[in-house]
């Protein structure tokens, strides 16, 4: 980087755009920013130089330089309006976020900016950076710190009645509580976000976020039909914006269809006009699960889980629901296999269902304890002994009913005798 500055003019910006390499363009833009002039035209050119420089540093993945750029620009921020400062700061933070593997750097950058905004009393910017920081902490699984940050921020924003920011914060709080498996609080925060959103115009992307979170919470309560409708609304919003989150909304729609035993609809949704745009590993994974569910095949189910591990097991929402689906499918298959027997070797059942013996034995013992069928495990012989379902004797309920009726007759006679005596 040359120590001599360049004039803050459109010619300097044009020179940077015509540079042969990104490094050369970055050097030119740095020299433009070193110009000490504070004339209105020079300030305007410097703002454009900052935007171009930020984009170039993002393209060449220089996250640390973006962080130091933000610190270098602080004297310049005193020359421009607070709204423009907020736009530049948030733009640089967003550019750092687009560089992969920078989560820790983003957290430290946001903390630095928060400290600076407190010192400069820039409340509007601080609140938004704190909301961004809470989101980063949640992604980093630092839930308690994120909640502590949000609890103070929510009170402050409610006092200022900044509805749009309140929607963001309430939605983020709902996601945090859901990650901590606190469903009632997650629903309460989502309701607060919806209430705030109803009072103002909410951008389509944010409305899609609200619908996506609503679908996730309804799916958690096993209300898959309502969840499907919310995921569909989110998909339409994200699809119209060409947002990459559209594929996840579509994936969760397919999950809901599988969970309500409508796996046959999955192929139709994927082959629809909207679905064909997103054909890829995410949808292939759900199609494999739907095929396994339709055929009631545990082997195909396990193959799908193995082949699409990243799409199924590493997605916490899908993994949670597929685990319960797998257990249900396994129980149904085991009940069907043991039905003809009164005594059968566990190894034979494992062979029929094509699963490891210890896995089958563990599941059978769990089913016996849950009273899914009457039986016991003879571990010495390696056998499962199934008892006949005990037939309920009708004499006991009848006897109880007779005694109850006799009691009513005696009570009635006592009331009559009491009237006669009176």
Mean pLDDT of the chain: 88
Please write the tens of the pLDDT for every residue from 30-71.
888 888 888 888 889 999 999 999 999 999 998 899 999 988
Look at residue 384 and tell me whether its pLDDT is greater than 70. yes
Instruction: Report the C-alpha gap between 96 and 105 in whole angstroms.
Output: 8
Which pTM was predicted?
A: 0.77
Between CA 69 and CA 133 the distance in angstroms is: 19
| All domains of the chain in start order, with CATH | 1-80 (no CATH), 203-309 (1.25.40)
- Which tens digits make up the pLDDT trace of 171-214? 999 999 999 889 999 999 999 999 999 989 999 999 999 999 99
Name the least confident of 206-210, 273-277, 405-409.
Answer: 273-277
pLDDT for res 334: 84
The tens digit of pLDDT for each residue in 276-334 reads: 888 888 889 999 988 888 887 888 888 888 888 888 888 888 888 888 888 888 888 88
Examine the pLDDT at 87 and tell me if it is beyond 60.
Answer: yes
| Number of neighbours of residue 368 by Cβ within 10 angstroms | 16
Residue 311 near residue 331, CB atoms below 8 Å: no
pLDDT value at residue 351:
84
């Amino acid at each position: 980087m040359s120590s001599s500055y360049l004039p803050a003019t459109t010619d300097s910006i044009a020179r940077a755009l015509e540079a042969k390499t990104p490094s050369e363009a970055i050097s030119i833009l740095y020299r433009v920013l070193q110009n000490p002039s504070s004339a209105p035209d020079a300030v305007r050119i410097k703002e454009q130089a900052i935007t171009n420089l930020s984009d170039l540093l993002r393209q060449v993945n220089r996250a640390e330089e973006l962080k130091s750029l933000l610190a270098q620009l602080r004297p310049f921020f005193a020359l421009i309006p607070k709204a423009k400062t907020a736009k530049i700061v948030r733009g640089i933070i967003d550019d750092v976020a687009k560089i992969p593997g920078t989560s820790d750097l983003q957290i430290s950058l946001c903390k630095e900016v928060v400290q600076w905004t407190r010192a400069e009393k820039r409340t509007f910017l601080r609140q938004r950076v704190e909301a961004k920081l809470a989101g980063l902490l949640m992604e980093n699984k630092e839930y308690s710190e994120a909640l502590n940050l949000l609890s103070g921020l929510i009170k402050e924003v409610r006092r200022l009645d900044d509805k749009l920011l309140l929607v963001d914060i309430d939605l983020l709080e709902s996601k945090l509580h859901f990650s901590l498996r606190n469903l009632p609080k997650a629903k309460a925060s989502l309701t607060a976000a919806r209430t705030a959103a109803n009072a103002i115009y909410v951008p389509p992307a944010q409305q899609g976020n609200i619908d996506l979170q609503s679908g996730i919470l309804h799916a958690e309560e096993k209300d898959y039909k309502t969840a499907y409708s919310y995921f569909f609304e989110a998909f339409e919003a994200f699809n119209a914006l060409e947002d990459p989150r559209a594929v996840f909304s579509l994936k969760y729609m397919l999950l809901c269809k599988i969970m309500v035993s409508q796996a046959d609809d999955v192929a139709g949704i994927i082959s629809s006009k909207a679905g064909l745009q997103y054909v890829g590993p995410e949808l292939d994974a759900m199609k494999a699960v739907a095929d396994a569910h339709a055929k009631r095949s545990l082997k195909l189910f396990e193959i799908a889980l193995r082949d699409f591990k990243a799409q199924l097991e590493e997605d916490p929402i899908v993994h949670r629901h597929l685990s319960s689906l797998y257990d249900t499918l396994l129980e149904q298959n085991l009940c069907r296999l043991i039905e003809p027997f009164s005594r059968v070797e566990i190894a034979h059942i494992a062979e029929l269902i094509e699963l490891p013996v210890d896995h089958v034995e563990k599941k059978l013992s769990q089913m016996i304890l849950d009273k899914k069928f009457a039986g016991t495990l003879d571990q010495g012989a390696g056998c499962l002994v199934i008892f006949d379902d005990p037939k309920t004797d009708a004499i006991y309920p009848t006897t109880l009913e007779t005694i109850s009726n006799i009691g009513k007759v005696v009570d009635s006679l006592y009331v009559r005798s009491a009237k006669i005596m009176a």
